[in-house]
Amino acid sequence: MAPRKGSFAWTRSELSRFRELSRQHHGLTQVGMAAIALSVSRQRIYQLIEAGHLPVVEILGKKLVPCDELERFTALERSSGFRYDAVSAAA
């Protein structure tokens, strides 16, 4: 049985999941920091997430962006001419 959300056991399992995901993805960052890294607004990051161009993980109710996905995304933008500022929220 899964621990009840908000309980000490749930928090411990979420922190453990955070450590493992962070190890797998060479770190996780908050949406605001991802926006700074890509030089775009937080709203643009959420649009990229909704459009499926930028994956996120949710831990303790917070959306976190894998750092290796940020690197992959910027490399895609550079190599293919894909412009993340051209992505619409409806995409």
Residues in the chain: 91
Q: Among 1-5, 35-39, 56-60, 83-87, which stretch is predicted with the lowest mean pLDDT?
A: 83-87
Question: What does pTM read for this prediction?
Answer: 0.69
Tens of pLDDT, residues 47-79: 999 999 899 999 888 999 999 988 888 887 777
**Secondary structure of residue 8 in the 3-state scheme:** helix
Query: For 15-42, what is each residue's pLDDT tens digit?
Result: 888 889 888 888 899 999 999 888 889 9
Note the CATH architecture for domain 23-86.
Orthogonal Bundle (1.10)
SS (H, E, C) 28-74: EEEHHHHHHHHCCCHHHHHHHHHCCCCCCEEECCEEEEEHHHHHHHH
